[in-house]
């Protein structure tokens, strides 16, 4: 059995239509993806549940589809979208919480891996979804909180970040310049462009997403030319080292001229498990990567674009306390620390954008702070992001032992992290 005596991480790609699960051992080189049929590339687990009539018995995935064809009951689809909407789901006259239904599907689908990976060896699961909006974060956090997987680290990221981690695991010559990913797994084509800003340290990587409604599965006439136009538009003025085609929309032999253009002076690959493998690599990196040694950092829509910290003194030397790290997900960014106020009733917070421009020191004034002698006020400083751009600093007066009891005064300051 895979994972005997070693740590395993999982990458779980979730969409409205299906899920995919990839896995790798801590010291492994490549992630593998679970297939519904061993030896075949049947990675998609249908995202649906079936409830048998008049009994509380549920089935998931392919089994749910089979039962729906053979027995009386109700098939529930669009589980992820229903969870995002948040309205009760009526099944056979009974209302169900859509979050609970999505949890049930994920729990059941994860059971697929236990025949290959021992559950007690799983150290982390990274979930990846197409659009990591604030509502998606809220829903997925509620879902993973109810999965009942103690001791396993659970995290969430968008597909753009999964693309970043997947590409960074490929041979360096494939991402010497830009990389394009074309996803035709839904009704419409989507494209992603991976590119770097080599003038920063660490090197900042971006992944831009675009929708292409003009390339649709039900528009077979002229599809080759429409996709060719998308290729030309996404690559115009760029050096693209390689491209990836993912999704069943590329099945068949319709994309003749477009693929010929795509393969001109660059490598091209077909597949459909890029997101789950990228999520797997991301979780490995979170658990076992050496952050200090990173030469590349992904800066997407949900990432902090600045470092937040404080300049302090340790003994006789100036020092720096990192509060929030640029490149982290804004919704995960938080830290508590304790400091002794040297004198007065204020301190400063340093905001250092990753591009090195517009560095700021923001003064935090504690109006009404209990007056005490020098170096006798201990503060608890809590920093977290309220939104993708608003930093919140909460400061609690902890006093100084029995000599100067805590007042438990709480001061708060909101800071817009980005100017302009």
Average pLDDT on 97-105 reads 97
Strand-pair partners of 385: 391
Q: 3-class secondary structure for 222-281?
A: CHHHHHHHHHHHHHCCCCEEEEEEECHHHCCCCCHHHHHHHCCCCEEEEECCHHHHHHHH
Q: Which band of pLDDT confidence, cut at 50, 70 and 90, is reported for residue 408?
A: confident
| Residue partners of 279: CB distance under 8 A and separation at least 6 | 11, 12, 13, 22, 126, 127, 128, 157, 162, 165
Write out pLDDT tens, residues 164-202: 999 999 999 999 999 999 999 988 999 999 999 888 878
Alpha-carbon gap, residue 21 to 44, rounded angstroms: 9
Q: Which sequence spans correspond to the domains of the chain?
A: 8-158, 162-276, 306-416
- With 90 as the cut, is the pLDDT of residue 115 above it? no
Strand (E) or helix (H) holding 104: helix 98-110
- What's the token pair of residue 205? 């990587």
Average pLDDT on 282-309 reads 86
Average of per-residue pLDDT values in the chain: 91
Average pLDDT on 319-336 reads 91
- With 70 as the cut, is the pLDDT of residue 161 above it? yes
- Are domains 8-158 and 162-276 of this chain identical in fold? yes
For residue 77, the model assigns a pLDDT of 97
Is 50:67 a contact under the CB 8 Å cutoff? Answer: yes
For residue 22, the model assigns a pLDDT of 97
Write out pLDDT tens, residues 11-55: 999 999 999 999 998 666 789 999 999 888 899 999 999 999 988
For residue 224, the model assigns a pLDDT of 93
For residue 84, the model assigns a pLDDT of 97
- Least confident piece of the model among 43-52, 237-246, 306-315: 306-315
Average pLDDT on 209-238 reads 89
Average pLDDT on 258-287 reads 94
CA dihedral 326, 330, 336, 341 (to 10 degrees): 60
Strands (E), 7-56: 8-14, 18-25, 32-33, 45-46, 49-52
Place of tokens 């917070």: 349
Q: Which band of pLDDT confidence, cut at 50, 70 and 90, is reported for residue 221?
A: low
- With 90 as the cut, is the pLDDT of residue 218 above it? no
Most confidently modeled range among 240-244, 309-313, 400-404, 407-411? 240-244
Query: What CATH code would you report for 306-416?
Result: 2.60.34.10
Cα distances from 415 to residues 120, 272, 411, in angstroms, run 43, 42, 13
For residue 228, the model assigns a pLDDT of 95
Is 149:106 a contact under the CB 8 Å cutoff? Answer: no
- With 80 as the cut, is the pLDDT of residue 307 above it? yes
The CATH architecture to which 8-158 belongs is: 2-Layer Sandwich (3.30)
Alpha-carbon gap, residue 29 to 308, rounded angstroms: 34
- Helices (H) then strands (E): counts for the chain: 8, 25
- Please say whether the structural domain 162-276 has been given the CATH code 2.60.40: no
Write out pLDDT tens, residues 122-153: 999 999 999 988 899 999 999 999 999 989 99
């Amino acid at each position: 059995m895979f994972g005997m005596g070693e740590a395993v991480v999982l990458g779980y790609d979730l969409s409205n239509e299906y899920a995919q699960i990839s896995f790798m051992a801590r010291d492994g080189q490549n992630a593998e993806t679970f297939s519904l049929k061993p030896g075949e590339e049947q990675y998609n687990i249908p995202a649906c549940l079936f409830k048998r009539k008049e009994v509380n018995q549920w089935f998931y995935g392919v089994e749910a589809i089979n039962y729906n064809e053979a027995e009386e009951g109700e098939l529930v689809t669009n589980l992820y979208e229903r969870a995002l909407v948040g309205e009760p789901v009526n099944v056979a006259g009974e209302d169900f919480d859509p979050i609970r239904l999505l949890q049930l599907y994920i729990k059941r689908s994860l059971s697929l891996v236990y025949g290959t990976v021992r559950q007690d060896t799983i150290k982390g699961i990274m979930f990846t979804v197409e659009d990591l909006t604030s509502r998606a974060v809220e829903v997925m956090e509620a879902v993973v909180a109810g999965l009942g997987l103690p001791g396993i680290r659970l995290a969430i990221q968008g597909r753009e970040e999964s693309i970043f981690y997947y590409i960074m695991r490929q041979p360096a010559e494939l991402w010497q310049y830009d990389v394009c990913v074309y996803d035709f797994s839904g009704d419409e084509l989507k494209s992603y462009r991976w590119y770097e800003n080599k003038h920063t340290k660490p090197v900042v990587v971006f992944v831009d997403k675009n929708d292409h409604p003009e390339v649709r599965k039900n528009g077979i006439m002229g599809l080759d030319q429409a996709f060719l136009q998308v290729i030309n538009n996404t690559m115009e003025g760029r050096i693209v080292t390689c491209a990836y085609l993912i999704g069943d929309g590329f099945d068949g032999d319709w994309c003749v001229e477009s693929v010929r253009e795509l393969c001109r002076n660059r490598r091209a690959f077909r597949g459909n498990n890029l997101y789950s493998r990228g999520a797997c690599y991301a979780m490995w990196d979170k658990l076992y990567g050496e952050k200090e040694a990173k030469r590349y950092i992904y800066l997407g829509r949900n990432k902090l674009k600045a470092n937040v910290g404080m300049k302090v003194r340790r003994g006789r030397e100036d020092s720096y306390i990192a509060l929030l790290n640029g490149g982290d997900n804004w919704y995960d960014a938080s830290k508590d620390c304790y400091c002794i106020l040297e004198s007065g009733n204020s301190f400063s917070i340093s905001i250092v954008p990753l591009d090195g421009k517009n560095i700021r020191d923001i003064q935090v004034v504690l109006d009404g702070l209990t007056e005490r002698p020098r170096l006798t006020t201990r503060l608890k400083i809590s920093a977290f992001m309220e939104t993708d751009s608003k930093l919140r600093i909460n400061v609690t007066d902890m006093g100084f032992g029995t000599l100067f009891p805590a007042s438990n005064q709480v001061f708060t300051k909101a800071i817009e992290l980005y100017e302009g």
